[in-house]
Every structure is written in C-alpha cells, then in structure tokens.
Amino acid sequence: MKTMQPRPLSTLSLIVLHEARILVRDRTLLLVCGVLALMVGYGLFVGLAQATLRDRMVAQVLKHQQETQTANSGMLQSVLAGQTALIPFSNPANPAAMAGTLSGRYATMPNAPLAALAIGQSDMMPNYYRITYLSKVQFMYDTEIENPWNLLSGHFDFAFVIVFVLPLLVTTLGYNLLSAEREHGTLRMLCSQPLSIATLMAGKVVVRMLALLAIVIPVPLVVLLLIRPEARGAEQLVLVLSWSALVAAYTLFWFAVAALVNTVGLSSSTNALIMVALWTILVLILPVTMNLAVGLVSPAPSRTELANRTRVATAESLREYEDLYSADYRYASDPEALLVKNERIEVPSRMRAFFLAKQKVDERIEPLLKRFDQQLLQQQKLVDRLSLLSPAILINEALTSIAGTDSHRFLAFKDQTEAFHQEWRQYFSPRIQESRAMTMRDLSSLPRWHWIEMPASEINWSIWWRAMLMLALASGLGGLALSSSSRGSIE
Amino acid sequence: MFAIIAAKDLRVLTRDGRLLWAGGLVVILMLVALAAGWNRQVQLNSERSAGQALDHDAWLHQGYRHPHDAAEQGMHVFKPEPSLAVFDPGIGPFVGSTVWLQAHRQSEVKFRPAQDATGLQRFGELSPAWLLQVLLPLLIIVIGFNSVSDERERGTLRHLLSLGAPARSLLYGKAAALASCVGILIAPVGLAFAVLIVARLPAGERVDVVYRIAWLAAGYGLYLGFFVFLTLAVSALARSCRTALVLLLGFWVAATLIAPRTASEATNLLYPAPSRLDFDNQLAHDVADAGRKAWSTHFGARTPWDPSVPLSKWGAALKVDDEAGYGALDENFGRLWDTFERQQRAQEWVGLVAPVVALRGFSMGLAGTDFSQHRDFSTAAEAQRRKIQNIVSEDLIDHADRLGNAHFTYKAGPELWASVPQFKYELPPVSFALAHHWASLALLAVMFCLSVALAQYALSRPLMR
C-alpha cells in the first residue's frame, strides 16, 4: 500500500471541493442536473426521431424511383418489341411522356451526420424534390406535411435546450453566488480567511459549470455516436469539437454574467430579477425584434406578385403554343400512329406543347425566383451580422449549421436542384423537338442526381469564429467580474 | 379598506423602478409590433385584392381557347387577411395565402411566407399577441412576486392584520393594484388600436369585429388575471421573497416556454400526421382507384385514356375522371385536416397546466388566424375549382366531343369564361370561432377561478408566522 503524500491543495481546489459538497448536500445541484438530463434526453429523442423520419423519406423516394425505373424499362422493352397496347399519355418510347408523368427523378438531400442535434429549418424545407418537366413553381414550394400549429410552436429539440433552457439553469445555480453568502453572513467570515473573493467566485463557478457541462456535452455525443454511425468520421470529429467548444463558451458566458451581477452587491432577489431580465432581452426579445427588423430592412419580394406573374407567364406560354395545343389529336383512335419507326416517334403535338410551355413559364418567372433566393441570402447575411448583438442568435445559427439544418444548406440544395431540373430538361428537349424515340440505352443514361455537400472548411470557419467570439465575450465579462469582485464590498 | 390597500400598493408599485423599466419596454415593443403588423396588413390586403381582381380579369379576357387549356391555366384565389391578424398573425406565416385552382388536382395553399425566412423565424414573431401571452405574465411576476412576502418580511403584514384588515380586502386590494399596473400599460394602446381597426372597416363588418375584440379581451383578461392571483398566492405561501420569485419564474418558464413545445411534440406522437410522400402516394392511389372504377362503369375501359375511349367522349371522360376523384380528395384531405384538428384539441388539455396553450388557440381563433378558418378557406377554394372544372367539362361535352379527333381544335369564347362566377370568400363570423374554441375559454375561466381560490386560501391562512 502506498503512503499518502500530503499534497498542497490550492485554495481554489479547496473551494471547489467544499462547494461541491454543499451543493450535493442541499440537493440543488442534483435537482438542476436532473432537470437538465431529462431535457437533454427528450431533446435528443425529438431530434433523432426527426432525423430518422427524414432518412426514411429519402430512402423511400429512392426506392420508389428504382421501382419506376424498373417498370419503365420493362414497358419500354415490350413497346419496342411491339407487344403492348399503346396509350398516348403513358408511352415510354415517347420522350415527352418520359420527361414528365412516367419517369422523373428525385433530387434528395441527405441528413448531415449531426442532424439530430438541431431541427433548425428542416421542418419547413423539403429534403427532396421530384424533378419532371413541370415548371419550378409547381414543385419548388411543396414542403413536408406538418401541422402549422406545431411549426408555430417550434420543436423541443436539443438546440432549444441549449439556447433557451441552459441559461435559465445557469441562472438558477448562479444568481446568488455571492449574495447568498452575504445574506447568511458567511461572506464576512470567508473574507477573514486568506482567500480573495475572486478565487471564491471562480471556485463556485467551476463546480457549477462542470456539473452542467458534464451532462450537456458528453451525453448527446455518446448517444449520437452509438446510434448514428455516420457521426463517427474524422470530419465529424472536428465538428463535434467545435460544437463542444460552442456549448462550453455559451455556458461560460452566462456564468460570467451571473458572476458580474453578483459583484454589484445587490440582494439575491434583485440578482435573480436582473438575470431573468437579461435572459428575456437576449434570448426572447432581441431575436424576435431582429426577425422583424430583418424583414423590414430587406423585405421579401411579394408572394402575391409571384402568383400573378405565374398566371401571366402561364397564359402567355399557353397562347404561344396555341397551335400545338389545338392540333388534331388522332392518336387516341389511331394508336398505331404512336409506334416507333426507325428510332423515331411522333410526339403528339399537344404533349410537345406541354413540355415547351412549362419551360417558357420557368424562363419568364426565373428573374422573380432569383430575387427570392437573393433576398433570402441577403437576409441571412444580415442575420450573420446581427448575431453579434445576441449570443442566443449567435449560438443558434452555429448549432444549426453544425447540424446541417440551416438556411445556407437548404439554399445550396435549392440551387443544385434548379441546375438539375435544367439538366433534365436539356436532356429531353432535343429528343422531343426531333421526335427521337427513347431507347433502352437512353433509359440508362438519364441524368442522375448527385448532391454536392457544402465544403467542410466553410462550415468550420463559420462555427469557429462564432465560438471564439462567444469565448472572448465570456472571458471579457468574466474578467470584468473578477476585477470588480476584488474591489467590491462584503456588506 | 380594499380601496386603501389598492391605492397604497399601486403607489408603491408605480414608484418602483421595475414597473417603469419593464413596463416601458413592453409598451415600446407593443407599439413596434402593432406598427409592423399594421404595415404588413395594409400592404398584403391591397396586394391580395388587386391580385384577385387581376386574376379574374385575366380569366375573363383570355380570348378564344380550348376550355381544358383554360382550366390548366386555372386561376389563383387569395385568402383575405382578417383585420385582427395585426393583433395575432396565428398560423398565417406557416400556411400561405394563395391557392392555385388548376385542372386535375386539388392544390394546397402555397407560398408560405415562413419559407422566405431565416433561422430567426424559429425564435418567434413579434406580435402584440406574443407580448401579451409571454411577456406580460413575466411582468406581473416581476412586479408582484414580493407583494405579500415583502410585507411579511418587513413585519408590516402583522401590523395590517392587527388593525383588523380582512384577508379578503387584502387580497383583492393587492390584486387590483397589480391589475391596474398592467391595465395602465396595455389599456390605452389596446383601446386606441381597437378604435382604429373598427373605424377602418366597412360598416357591415364592424359588429363582428367588435364582438371579436370583446371576446379577446375576456380571454386575455382571464389569462392575465390567472397570473395576478397566482403571483399573490405564491407570494403569500412562500417563505421568502426569493423563494416566491424562483417558484414563479420556474412556473413561467415551464408553462409559457416549455409546455407549448412539449405539447406539440407529444400530440404529434399521439396523432401522427403522414409524411408528404405517404400522403401523396395514398392520394394518388385512391384517385387512380376511383378513376379506374368510374372508367370501367362508364366506358368499359380498363385504364384511363384507353384507346377504346375515342376523343368524341373525351369531355365526358374528363368529367367522369374529375368527379370520381372528388371523393378520394375529400377523404384524404379531410383525414389529414382532422388529424391536425385532433392534435390541436389534444393540446387544449395541456391548458390545464399551461394556460398559454389554451389562450393561444382561443386568441388565434378569435383573430381569425387559426387552422379551422384556414380549412374553411381551403374548402371554399376547392369548391370553386370544382365549379370551374364542371363548367369546362360540360362545355366540352356539348361542343368539343362532337368534333371527334378534332376535339382539341374547339375553342370557347368569353361567354364561357363569364359563366364562371367570381370567387368571393367571406371570413366566417365570430360564432364560427366561438363554436371551435369555447372549450379553451372555459378552461381559462376554470384556471382563473382556481387561482383565485388558491390565493384566497393562501391569504386566509394564519399569516402571523
């Protein structure tokens, strides 16, 4: 057995141990940590459920796509062999039918590996689009089904626990760091010891902060690593690290606020009031006011205008192809006319008109849709700048971008989808114009969708500067608290 | 005695910096929210009515065209913004306001403003209703948490009771003082806003809106009254000011911030809504099924657009196809919307612990921005779509079907377009909202009575401890 060497315990660690003992004895810490653990668990459950749902949807659409493809190739084979009765609207040899009702590809955006950490915008924005010859306005605004009341309430996800609840728990643990000692008359006694108030406070904060962080950081990471294998990559490790740094910095910020408030020397009740007032302003009021301000400074183009323009564009393109639309339609009674001859097929003029008209509609609405996207980008830039005013916005934006549920990623998805939609049309356009029948080879060379993930460096940069900023803010406040505590009175 | 206590408390509260600062902030925010809402509404309403008129005009003047092509182009109808949406925008930003009435498919209301929003949207929208629901209870707690406990700590409560002041007067006096503080802040703004809203309306709609405002005032009165009495009760029951404050703030956080989110997550599990893909697949399947049946009974064809159905029956076939689908559409959309309404009704029970949930439903309902009224509009829009489809198909049967293969060369003119009645949607009256939300109001009344009872119990206990 080793003999215990007497170790010189620094004052700080003595305070830490002492505080820990008190906090455990009076059950405050256990209660707060219990509440936090419950909320973390529930928030994670909600996030995981949402991520699983979205995974399942992507898998489902891809399966559906595979099935349609198999069915189409079977049908095309029999049509080319002259075995199937030909139906004008669903003849797979007809490129116009293949571009629209018969085929269509799904543009899908996979969940980011850490998606379960924050739901963000993912309940408002679709993670797949069905691409056909239809115009953009017809498919771009379809979203996932969700009760609007629930969208309004918001989700109880893990990001909510961090952004909203964590500071409140910090307040509960920290509003009377010094004031309670003062009110109990023990501060005077403590100050008669060789101990500075700054050390006392630092010790108190360290215990409380470690207790909260011990739940809020490792628990979700362990759960995530266990349940979602895709979260185990090297790139994710960096993200996880930055995520931990962010959460720690945000917690530190609120403890620094608590310490600073405590050094002023007011009563516990007043401290609690000040903390809650600060929380209300930084977490509740500033973000909603910013939301309003962002809308005012950089207003979205009118949705009514979009509807009007769509109508005008549709009317114009219908008129433009009027001759094609109203041509004789003998194919219904003469299906033989739909047969493939020398790799050519007569594309019914009406179907050709469908294709061309939708294409025209998009060309005409394009500038307005571009303005919507521009607008969203502008707004997002404004939010990035305004986030400097409220740590809650700062951390919320960072958490959603780690989870890949922020509006930057959705805009990227939208952009890529538009490009793919364009590619899809360009593939079919010459075939329809030149009446070329679809071949088996064509069927396997249809444009394919590839999602290009946003560069990790961009995400990392946007997160680290936020984490650093938060840390700087927290240390600034903490430093202020420590320096003013050394000057403060103990009365 | 009651009046003396109320006057004294009111004087104390108004001298305190808390009311000045917190109240001032709330009033400023309220004015900002009202101005922003007002600005948005004026813009939206003029845009929408102009859009509606333009659309109908374009429909009338589309010239000569095949009726089915006209139906493919369809028209847009716009949901009028209820005048009280300035006060409570409700689910507005999440559902959009425009329906495209096009051939073959029932459209959902599209173009949701929330899709053009940034991540900040999820923090909420600054509306007067949000301020009253979330921030005012906090204000009541902040200015009232020590109204009894402080007197006890200072020993003035002992004096007061020794003078023979009845506990009941004490309670109602303090409640009146707290309530007047809140009243001073919101009543002038609220009154001015109400007068402005009502004055701007056409005479026919005024009575309805006045009723709505009165009911809203009642609902919010009960809600804020609940917080006034709860604050007094906790202040009397707690051992110290600090405990009272911590307890009340804990309740506020749990009831106004955490409960609504938890409730919506929970009801989602209880009554799950289908995913978009499942919904679309089911709908497509049901429509196709109904279509196949109708095609085989009417035309003996196995599949729609079977070569055995010549173009001389195309108009008739279109009509059969459309009508066959109506049942499936009604059933699928009905089921989905019922699920939403069931989810909301289940949440009302959460109002028993978190009155804000009950109040939110009631407030949106009376403001005309809740789901039931959105559903009413969607149903009206779909009815209009079917009207257009029927008129168009009848015309095809009468004129185009006779032309055989030259079916699509037929062109109808302005008289057909004029036979489609203009879409006129009137927001449902206040009775509609009350029929949907009386339970929430009843719940608020129950909560209010409970809080009064609790406060009476708390103050009638021997306070001389």
Q: Among residues 384-403 of chain A, which lie with CB inside 8 Å of chain B?
A: 392-393, 396-397, 400
Q: Residue written as tokens 């096009």? A: B102
Q: Report helix, strand or coil for B76.
A: strand
Let me know: does A398 contact A246? Beta carbons within 8 Å: yes
Residues of chain A with pLDDT under 70: 1-9, 84-86, 88, 332-333, 486-491
For chain A, the straight-line distance linking the first and the last C-alpha, in angstroms and rounded, comes to: 49
How many whole angstroms from its chain centre is CA A17? 41
Per-residue confidence (pLDDT) for residue A5, from 0 to 100: 46
Chain A partners within 8 Å of B58 (Cβ): 311-312, 315
Q: Which two tokens stand for residue A27?
A: 């059950």
**Where does residue B368 fall: left (phi above 0), alpha (psi -120 to 50 degrees), or beta otherwise?**
left
Tell me the shortest Cα–Cα distance from A32 to chain B, in angstroms: 12
Does the CB of A464 have a partner CB in chain B at under 8 Å?
no
The reply to whether residue A383 touches residue B98, judged by beta carbons under 8 angstroms, is no
- Alpha-carbon distance of B56 to B61, in angstroms, equals 9
Does the CB of A150 have a partner CB in chain B at under 8 Å?
yes
CB pairs under 8 A between A and B: 271
Chain A partners within 8 Å of B405 (Cβ): 328-330, 332-333
Tell me the shortest Cα–Cα distance from A233 to chain B, in angstroms: 27
Does the CB of A462 have a partner CB in chain B at under 8 Å?
no
Distance set, CA B290 to CA A264, A463, B102, B274, B454 (Å):
75, 53, 20, 21, 59
Does the CB of A160 have a partner CB in chain B at under 8 Å?
yes
Chain A partners within 8 Å of B273 (Cβ): 145-147
Of A88, A144, A350, the CB nearest to B408: A350
Task: Find the residue in B nearest to A393 (Cα).
Answer: B120
Q: How many CB atoms lie within 10 A of CB B413?
A: 11
Tell me the shortest Cα–Cα distance from B291 to chain A, in angstroms: 15
Where do the DSSP E strands lie in B199-294?
none
Chain A partners within 8 Å of B95 (Cβ): 148
Distance set, CA A245 to CA A23, A395, A472 (Å):
26, 11, 12
One DSSP character per residue, A417-440 reads HHHHHHHHHHHHHHHHHTTBPP-H
Per-residue confidence (pLDDT) for residue B416, from 0 to 100: 92
Does the CB of B158 have a partner CB in chain A at under 8 Å?
no
Chain A partners within 8 Å of B66 (Cβ): 325-326
Q: Residue written as tokens 């939301």? A: A291
Of B261, B309, B371, the CB nearest to A154: B261
Q: How many CB atoms lie within 10 A of CB B69?
A: 24
The reply to whether residue A145 touches residue B275, judged by beta carbons under 8 angstroms, is yes
Bridge partners, residue B110, by sequence: B98
Distance set, CA A427 to CA A133, A420, B52 (Å):
11, 10, 37
3-state secondary structure chain B: CHHHHHHHHHHHHHHCHHHHHHHHHHHHHHHHHHHHHHHHHHHHHHHHHHHHHHHHHHHHCCCCECHHHHHHHCEEEECCCCHHHHCCCCCHHHHCCEEEECCCCCCCCECCHHHHCCHHHHHCCCCHHHHHHHHHHHHHHHHHCCCCHHHHHHCHHHHHHHCCCCHHHHHHHHHHHHHHHHHHHHHHHHHHHHHHHHHHCCHHHHHHHHHHHHHHHHHHHHHHHHHHHHHHHHHHHCCCHHHHHHHHHHHHHHHHHHHHHHHHHHHHHHCCCCCHHHHHHHHHHHHHHHHHHHHHHHHCCCCCCCCCCCHHHHHHHHHHHHHHHHHHHHHHHHHHHHHHHHHHHHHHHHHHCCHHHHHHHHHHHHHCCCHHHHHHHHHHHHHHHHHHHHHHHHHHHHHHHHHHHHHHHCCECHHHHHCCCCCCCCCCCHHHHHHHHHHHHHHHHHHHHHHHHHHHHHHHCCCCC
Task: Find the residue in A nearest to B306 (Cα).
Answer: A87
Let me know: does A284 contact B131? Beta carbons within 8 Å: no
Task: Find the residue in B nearest to A169 (Cα).
Answer: B250
Q: Among residues 331-370 of chain A, which lie with CB inside 8 Å of chain B?
A: 332-333, 335, 350
- Alpha-carbon distance of A125 to B390, in angstroms, equals 35
Which amino acid type is present at position B117? Answer: A
Per-residue confidence (pLDDT) for residue A332, from 0 to 100: 66
The reply to whether residue B110 touches residue A141, judged by beta carbons under 8 angstroms, is yes
Chain A partners within 8 Å of B275 (Cβ): 53, 56-57, 60, 144-145
The reply to whether residue A147 touches residue B115, judged by beta carbons under 8 angstroms, is no
Of B29, B118, B264, the CB nearest to A380: B118
Per-residue confidence (pLDDT) for residue A3, from 0 to 100: 45
Task: Find the residue in B nearest to A172 (Cα).
Answer: B246
The reply to whether residue A312 touches residue B58, judged by beta carbons under 8 angstroms, is yes
Distance set, CA A281 to CA A388, A390, A481, B49 (Å):
14, 9, 20, 38
The reply to whether residue A149 touches residue B340, judged by beta carbons under 8 angstroms, is yes
Helix count (H) and strand count (E) of chain B?
19, 2
Q: Burial letters for A417-449: b for 16+ Cβ neighbours within 10 Å, e otherwise?
A: bbebbeebbebbbebbeeebbbeeebbeebbeb
Let me know: does A283 contact A162? Beta carbons within 8 Å: no
Chain A partners within 8 Å of B73 (Cβ): 311, 314-315, 318
Q: Report helix, strand or coil for A137.
A: helix
Mutate to test the interface with A, among B122, B267, B411 (most CBs of A within 10 A): B122
The reply to whether residue B277 touches residue A57, judged by beta carbons under 8 angstroms, is yes
Strands B75-78 and A128-131, by their bridges, are unpaired
Of B121, B265, B303, the CB nearest to A46: B265
The reply to whether residue B265 touches residue A64, judged by beta carbons under 8 angstroms, is no
Per-residue confidence (pLDDT) for residue A315, from 0 to 100: 82
**What was the ipTM of the complex prediction?**
0.88
pLDDT tens for A90-129 read 788 889 888 887 777 899 999 999 999 999 888 888 889 9
Residues of chain B with pLDDT under 70: 108-114, 304-305, 307, 462-465
Let me know: does B279 contact B371? Beta carbons within 8 Å: no
Chain A partners within 8 Å of B69 (Cβ): 318, 325
Per-residue confidence (pLDDT) for residue A7, from 0 to 100: 46
